[in-house]
């Protein structure tokens, strides 16, 4: 068979193989259904939560609430038009949420249905470890970059092969014309020539790479300094003594000691800081309890004795202070008082520190401690007014004000719910000074 024919046959087979591989890899993406989670995050998450009221109502159960009252798809696309049409439920919903209009969403029926399918199938994430898969929803592939690398390598191999075929064809033509074959140049030189001849294509490739790198950099910068929450791995530093919070603060019915958090962190109720317990507090129990439930536990108790200078009978005076590693760090410009939240707000420690009495053998930063996280709590968390001396005084002052007409504070609220927001908790100077 002539050389030209053999080369042509090989290039045709290689082209068909490359085309088949490309169609095999690209077909699933081309026919993929709308991703409800991504659509919810991109269009709804700034004002709505799945299962909790936020700036807007919780979306879970929204379709059932709209059943027989109107077209929820039309409401999502243009709530103003639905309200102006005189829809009673739309007007009721608009008034309930303090006449705040919802931003129109340019979504198709399929995309809206995908959002509500995701919302109805949503399962709250577990604080530690990977979240359980959502029933009825295809798992989200977080390894898209692997497929990009595979495709890039595939195209690179195909490109090198086709370049070799083209060089062989050119040499065959030159040989037929009685000319010398093209000189064998280094690959980098051949690539430069090819790139220069295909400037438009290479410009698009360069633009794609530039945008992709910027997106990845933005995602990485967004979580700098955030060490808790669902987006990043929790900050869990190694401590000089492996103090097991679950054992000490966990429930007694599970074989734990059920020690109240404020027994050790006694300043949490009356100070800005919760404080790190002194070794003397540990010795209130461990002067008598010298053995742990395991040999490792006994060794950790011995570290306490070494720190305070206890030989089992008396204090020797030779102390070696424990160098604990601070877990929760707030920026200097942010004010936070444990006393306000514990003594006045009556919050449990687990509200901010997570299931420290159930799943944390070593203390970790469970919450992200970002401004958005704090504002969300101040917006959603209802204040317990009953029997709280601090708020009783506020109510007494309000009742003495003639302008208010001696009415209860809840009468001024459309939803009857008193949150920190209603008490000025979102003012900048409350936390920044």
List the chain domain ranges.
36-120, 245-367, 377-431
pTM for the structure as a whole: 0.50
**Residue 388, exposed/middle/buried by CB under 10 A (0-12, 13-18, 19+)?**
middle
Q: Which of 359-368, 396-405, 417-426 has the lowest mean pLDDT?
A: 396-405
Collapse the DSSP code of 429 into the 3-class scheme (helix H, G, I; strand E, B; otherwise coil) and give the result.
Answer: helix
Q: Please give the structure tokens belonging to residue 103.
A: 């931003």
Residues facing 382 on adjacent strands: 419
What pLDDT digit, counting tens, does each position of 377-389 carry? 998 888 877 777 7
Sign of CA dihedral 241, 245, 246, 249: positive
Max intra-chain CA distance, the chain: 110
Average pLDDT over residues 408-413: 57
Q: Please give the structure tokens belonging to residue 305.
A: 């004795």
pLDDT, position 157: 80
Instruction: Give percent helix, percent strand, percent coil of the chain, each to the nearest 5.
Output: 50, 0, 45
What pLDDT digit, counting tens, does each position of 206-256 carry? 999 999 999 989 888 887 888 888 777 889 999 999 999 999 999 998 889
Q: Please give the structure tokens belonging to residue 350.
A: 């687990």
Q: Which residue has the tokens 């995908």?
A: 114
Q: What is the CATH number of domain 36-120?
A: 1.10.760.10
pLDDT, position 6: 47
199 vs 88: CA distance, rounded Å: 60
Residue 94 has a CB neighbour count (10 Å cut-off) of 18
Higher pLDDT, 184 or 90: 90
Using left for φ > 0, alpha for ψ between -120 and 50, and beta otherwise, residue 387 falls in: left
Q: Which of 20-24, 103-107, 331-335 has the lowest mean pLDDT?
A: 20-24
Residue 191 has a CB neighbour count (10 Å cut-off) of 14
Query: H/E element holding 348?
Result: none
Residue 391 has a CB neighbour count (10 Å cut-off) of 17
Instruction: Say if CB 292 and CB 361 are below 8 A apart.
Output: no
**CA 426 → CA 48, 389, 405, distances in Å?**
19, 22, 26
Higher pLDDT, 55 or 39: 39
- For residues 162, 165, 169 and 174, what is the CA-based torsion angle, rounded to 10 degrees? 100
């Amino acid at each position: 068979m002539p050389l030209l024919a053999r080369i042509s046959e090989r290039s045709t087979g290689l082209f068909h193989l490359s085309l088949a591989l490309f169609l095999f890899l690209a077909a699933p993406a081309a026919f993929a259904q709308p991703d409800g989670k991504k659509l919810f995050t991109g269009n709804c998450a700034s004002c709505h939560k799945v299962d909790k009221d936020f700036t807007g109502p919780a979306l879970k159960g929204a379709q059932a609430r709209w059943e027989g009252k109107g077209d929820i798809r039309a409401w999502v696309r243009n709530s103003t038009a639905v309200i102006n049409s005189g829809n009673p439920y739309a007007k009721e919903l608009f008034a309930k949420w303090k006449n705040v209009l919802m931003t129109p969403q340019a979504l198709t029926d399929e995309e809206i249905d995908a959002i509500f399918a995701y919302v109805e199938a949503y399962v709250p994430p577990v604080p530690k470890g990977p979240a359980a898969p959502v029933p009825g929803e295809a798992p989200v592939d977080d390894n898209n970059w692997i497929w990009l690398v595979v495709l890039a390598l595939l195209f690179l191999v195909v490109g090198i092969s086709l370049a070799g075929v083209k060089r062989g064809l050119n040499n065959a033509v030159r040989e037929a014309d009685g000319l010398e074959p093209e000189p064998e140049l280094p690959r980098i030189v051949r690539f430069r020539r090819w790139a220069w001849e295909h400037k438009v294509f290479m410009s698009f490739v360069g633009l794609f790479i530039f945008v992709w790198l910027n997106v990845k950099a933005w995602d990485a910068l967004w979580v700098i300094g955030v060490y808790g929450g669902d987006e990043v791995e929790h900050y869990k530093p190694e401590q000089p003594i492996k103090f097991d919070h679950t054992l000490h603060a966990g429930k007694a019915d599970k074989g734990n000691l059920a020690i109240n958090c404020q027994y050790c962190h006694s300043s949490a109720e009356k100070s800005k800081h919760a404080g790190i317990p002194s070794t003397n507090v540990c010795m209130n129990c461990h002067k008598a309890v010298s053995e742990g439930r395991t040999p490792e536990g006994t060794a950790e108790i011995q570290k306490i004795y070494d720190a305070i200078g206890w030989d089992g009978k008396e204090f020797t005076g030779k102390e070696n202070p424990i160098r604990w590693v601070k877990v929760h760090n707030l920026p200097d410009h942010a004010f936070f008082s444990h006393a306000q939240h514990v003594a006045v707000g009556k919050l449990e420690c687990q509200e901010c520190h997570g299931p420290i009495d159930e799943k944390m053998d070593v203390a970790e930063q469970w919450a992200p401690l970002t401004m958005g996280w704090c504002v969300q709590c101040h917006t959603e968390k209802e204040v317990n007014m009953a029997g709280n001396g601090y708020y009783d005084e506020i109510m007494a002052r309000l009742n003495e004000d003639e302008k208010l007409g001696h009415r209860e504070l809840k009468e001024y609220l459309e939803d009857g719910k008193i949150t920190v927001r209603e008490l000025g908790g979102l003012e900048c100077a409350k936390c920044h000074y």
